[in-house]
Each structure stands twice: as C-alpha cells, then as structure tokens.
Amino acid sequence: MILEVINISKEYIRAKKLFSAVSHVSFSSAEGNLIGITGPSGGGKSTLFHMISGLVKPTSGHVRLFDQEITDMSNDRLAELRRTDIGYILQGQNLLQNFTLMENICMPVYMGKRFDGAYQKGLELLDIFGLKGMENEYPYSLSGGEQRRVSIIRAFIHSPKLVIADEPTSNLDIENASIIMRFFKRASEQKITILVSSHDIDLISSIATQKYKMINGELTLWK
C-alpha cells in the first residue's frame, strides 16, 4: 500500500472547548489511485491532508506512507519525504512572489539539491498547463487560476509517488478546474497516487477511483 490511514483523529482546543477536527478516520490506497474527498468547508479535509503530509501530528492513530510509519517521524525526515515522495498542493495562493515561476516550480528540487532534469520537466509541465514561455515571469503577473496551475506543477516536479491536493480547484472557473482534474487523471494513470479534495461533487465523481465524503470530521465512503 502507498497510503494507509489507520483510525486517526485530531482534536484542538477551540473557544476553550475540545473540538474534534478529524474523528477516527481510516482508509488506504494502492499505487495509482485517485482518491477524491468532498464535503463542506470545516469538515476536516485540510486537517486530514495535513496529517497525511506530516505537517500536523494526529492526536491518535497512525499514518503509513510507502510502508513507513510517519506519525513518529522527525520534522526533518518528514520534510525530506515532502521533497522526495510527496507533492503537496496547499489551499489558496502559495507561490513565492520574489521567485520566477520556474524557480517556484523547482523549489522542492532546490531544497533537495537534486536538479537533474527538473528544468526540462518544468518546461514540459508549463506547456501542458498552458503556461508555455512564462517560466521567467513572476507570480504577480499571473491570474489566480494560472498561479494555481503553477502550484500544481511544483507538486509534480520531483516525480512524487503521492500528490496531496487541498482544494486545487476552489475559486477557479470550469475550464481551469477541468485542466487540473484531467492532469490528475493522467498522473494517476502513470502510477502516481492522487489525494484530492473539492467542494465540487461532480468534479470529484468524474475522475476519482476512490470517493469519500467528509463531514464533521468523519469520513464515509461515497459510491
């Protein structure tokens, strides 16, 4: 299994009360699956993704990635995983404004100090996402949709085994959303496991091989 989420929960203190953001969630995925999770805002999707990518430790439960238990891994080891085997697409605009698009795209590679072929791959991905010739532009000259596409390219630049995309299509028009989802579909066909969340049930249902709903921190299979 590429991904095993075993009974994980995350609790926060919110307004002096214990708040359960994710409650006893379990699921797993084999290589090349496209897992879609839908549900309303505040349902716990982002917290779940943060725990799977190692950005947040679960209160209880375990996450296994590529047959390794990550729950007890150090932050530095988790960072290494994120720049080698995981591509993480954060919610919202997440490009560094003082770096060109190509530099933003190659940032995981820079952090891993392995540059081989990344530049060429970046050019190819820019072409696929309709941003050909814009590698030396700065993010501020791009529209929101274009910036989101660059974030997605960045998540794929280091050839990860798992890509986690948190609401990659929010606030995007149908055309931009379709470009992204089609790319995810193609990536999963190339054995990259994709974990994607979206409010848009239709968008998820059209591409996902494994579909879930997440409401009030609880994950349920959705067929």
Partner 1 sequence: MNRNKKRLLTIFDIAVRNLELRKIRTGFMIFFVCVLALSLFVISVIVNSMEQRLNNTIDRMGADIIIVPSSAAADVVNSIFLGESFSLYFDKKMSASITSVSGVAKITPQLYIATLDAACCSQPTQIVAFDPKTDFTVRPWLDKLQVTNLEKDQVLIGASILANAGDKIKFFTHTFEVIGVLEKTDTGFDNRVYMDFQDAYELMRTPELQNIISGQIKNEKSAISSLMVKIDDNADARIVAAYINHALRKLPIKAYTRNGMFDKFSDSMKTMVYYSNFLIVLTFILVVLAMACIFTITINERKHEFGILTAVGATSFQITAIILTEAALIGITGGFFGIVAAGIILIIFQNTIFLLFGIPSITASVYFLNVTALMCIGVSLFVCIFSSLYSTLQISRQEPLLLIRGEE
- Site residues (CB under 8 A) for partner 1? 50, 53-56, 75-76, 78-84, 88, 90, 94-100, 102-103, 106-113, 115, 119, 135-136, 154, 158
Nearer Cβ to partner 1 (193/207): 193
Cβ(110)–Cβ(130) below 8 Å: no
Q: What is the rounded CA–CA span in Å between residue 18 and residue 9? A: 12
Q: In what order do the strands lie in the sheet with 86-89?
A: 86-89, 162-165, 193-198, 34-38, 210-215, 218-221
Output the smallest distance, CB 193 to partner 1, in A: 18
Give the strand pairing for 210-215 and 218-221. Answer: antiparallel
Nearer Cβ to partner 1 (155/208): 155
Output the smallest distance, CB 102 to partner 1, in A: 6
Cβ(81)–Cβ(65) below 8 Å: yes
Phi-psi label, residue 85: left if phi above 0, alpha if psi -120 to 50, beta otherwise: alpha
Nearer Cβ to partner 1 (88/212): 88
User: Alpha carbon of 136 to those of 112, 114, 127, 142: distances in Å?
Assistant: 22, 20, 14, 12
Output the smallest distance, CB 206 to partner 1, in A: 27
Nearer Cβ to partner 1 (101/208): 101
Nearer Cβ to partner 1 (92/189): 92
